[in-house]
């Protein structure tokens, strides 16, 4: 099975092409007044949507979504807080290219993926039309205030996170192709100026308004180009793609698709070249693979980008069968995985 279940638990965030990490600190005497509850601070270059859980009565009440601009903090729960274990799950905005980045843990709770919600998490999410996600426990020790910071591999302070967020959204909107480093140099300033001019925005537009407009345009652009994979089953799917790359072939993965989830796996206009997809569905009875997969490509147990499709085992890879997609239309393609597309579980 690819990837193995143990690997999926340890590296789910990495397989989803980018992870978020968390740090937490209590509010001291000076900070307690400022915190006034549980604050989430976004030290990443992504717009983040967060969901939190707290014990209430005999169950866990889960609420979402709290939107966090890069370089900003928002109050997730008003104080005074109840010291003890709370829960947090975060995902990047679907405006960003390359599939959603996630922050999670190993404690399953129910969420509504489509919009704002507040629900006491039931044992079976599907009975209420909800979906399960793995939250990370957060120990809150100060009733006056607590801050939790979401970070990425590149370490940003709050100011640089805001600048890097603008850079990333400019890139997602197709206006900027420089580094995502949090430094507003000549190239970034030129891209911002071009964007403001194209959209008839004032030169003194605030950073928050700039991020909001950029996110909207990046989301719209993402709907109009590239290859998007969607999971229309009730189970988790590991997916990969293959396509022509230059004079040869390239296979690339993994994207973790939760039930009902989508990932934009190619962020550029599609040409007329052939495209192929691979998927493995995890079920209680075993792994299910695609029925119509007939074209061999190389895959790896970990995140991969492999050039060529011959002699996979000699290069320490595994050969797997991919399914050809329909032709792209208007530079884009949406490919959906349904239960009917999969074989019965392997013995």
State how far the Cα of 254 lies from the Cα of 302, in Å rounded to an integer. 7
> If you search the block for the tokens 């939760």, which residue do you land on?
258
Q: Residue 30: which pLDDT band, with cuts at 50, 70 and 90?
A: very low
pLDDT at 144 over 80: yes
Choose the weakest-confidence range: 130-144, 192-206, 266-280.
Answer: 266-280
Q: Which residue has the higher pLDDT, 136 or 282?
A: 136
Q: Residue 33: which pLDDT band, with cuts at 50, 70 and 90?
A: very low
Task: Give 288-299 pLDDT, tens digit per residue.
Answer: 999 999 999 999
Look at residue 240 in the predicted model and tell me its pLDDT: 95
Q: Residue 10: which pLDDT band, with cuts at 50, 70 and 90?
A: very low
State how far the Cα of 227 lies from the Cα of 147, in Å rounded to an integer. 38
Residue pair 222/97 in contact (Cβ under 8 Å)? The answer is yes
Number of H helices, E strands in the chain: 5, 21
Look at residue 14 in the predicted model and tell me its pLDDT: 35
Mean pLDDT, residues 189-205 taken together: 91
Residue pair 322/295 in contact (Cβ under 8 Å)? The answer is yes
All domains of the chain, ordered by start, with CATH?
5-151 (no CATH), 158-224 (no CATH), 226-341 (2.60.40)
Strand partners, 88: 52, 136
Supply 11's token pair.
């590296």
Longest dimension (CA), the chain: 64
Q: Which residue has the higher pLDDT, 289 or 1?
A: 289
User: Is residue 150 reached through a cis peptide bond, with omega within 30 degrees of 0 on the bond before it?
Assistant: no
Pairing state of beta strands 332-337 and 226-231?
parallel
Handedness of CA 266, 270, 275, 276 (dihedral sign): positive
Give the burial class of 284: count Cβ atoms within 10 A of its Cβ; 0-12 exposed, 13-18 middle, 19 or more buried.
exposed
CB atoms within 10 A of CB 5: 10
Supply 269's token pair.
């206009």
104 φ/ψ angles, rounded to the nearest 5 degrees: -155, -170
Calculated CA dihedral for residues 247, 248, 254, 256, nearest 10 degrees = 70
Look at residue 58 in the predicted model and tell me its pLDDT: 84
State how far the Cα of 344 lies from the Cα of 332, in Å rounded to an integer. 31
Look at residue 11 in the predicted model and tell me its pLDDT: 35
Q: Assign residue 182 a region (left: φ > 0; alpha: ψ between -120 and 50; beta: otherwise).
A: left
State how far the Cα of 346 lies from the Cα of 216, in Å rounded to an integer. 43
Look at residue 21 in the predicted model and tell me its pLDDT: 54
Please report, for residues 99, 177, 264, 273, 303, the alpha-carbon distance to residue 172 in angstroms, rounded to integers and kept in the order given. Answer: 12, 9, 12, 23, 22
């Amino acid at each position: 099975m690819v990837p193995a279940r143990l690997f999926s638990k340890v590296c789910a965030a990495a397989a989803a092409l980018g992870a978020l990490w968390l740090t937490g600190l209590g509010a001291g005497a000076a900070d307690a007044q400022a915190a006034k509850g549980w604050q989430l601070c976004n030290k990443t270059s992504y717009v983040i949507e967060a969901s939190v859980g707290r014990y209430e009565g005999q169950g866990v009440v889960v609420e979402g979504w709290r939107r966090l601009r890069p370089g900003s903090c928002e109050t997730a729960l008003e104080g005074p807080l109840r010291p003890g274990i709370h829960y947090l799950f975060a995902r990047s905005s679907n405006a960003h290219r390359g599939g959603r980045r996630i922050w999670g843990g190993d404690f399953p709770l129910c969420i509504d993926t489509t919009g704002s919600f507040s629900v006491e998490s039931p044992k079976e999410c599907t009975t209420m039309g909800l979906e399960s996600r793995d939250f990370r426990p957060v120990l809150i020790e100060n009733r006056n205030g607590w801050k939790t910071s979401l970070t990425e591999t590149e370490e940003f302070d709050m100011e640089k996170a805001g600048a890097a967020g603008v850079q990333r959204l400019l890139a997602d909107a197709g206006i900027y192709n420089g580094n995502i480093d949090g430094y507003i140099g000549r190239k970034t300033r030129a891209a911002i100026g071009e964007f403001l001019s194209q959209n008839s925005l004032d030169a003194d537009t605030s950073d928050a308004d700039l991020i909001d407009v950029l996110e909207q345009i990046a989301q719209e652009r993402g709907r109009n180009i590239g290859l998007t994979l969607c999971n229309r089953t009730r189970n988790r799917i590991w997916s990969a793609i293959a396509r022509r790359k230059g004079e040869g072939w390239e296979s690339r993965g993994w994207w973790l698709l939760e039930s009902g989830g989508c990932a934009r796996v190619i962020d550029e206009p599609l040409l007329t070249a052939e495209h192929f997809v691979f998927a493995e569905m995890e079920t209680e009875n075993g792994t299910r693979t695609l029925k119509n997969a007939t074209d061999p490509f190389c895959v790896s147990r970990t995140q991969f980008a492999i050039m060529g499709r011959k002699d996979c085992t000699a290069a320490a890879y595994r050969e797997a069968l991919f399914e050809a997609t329909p032709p792209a239309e208007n530079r884009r393609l949406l490919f959906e995985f349904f239960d009917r597309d999969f074989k019965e579980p392997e013995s």
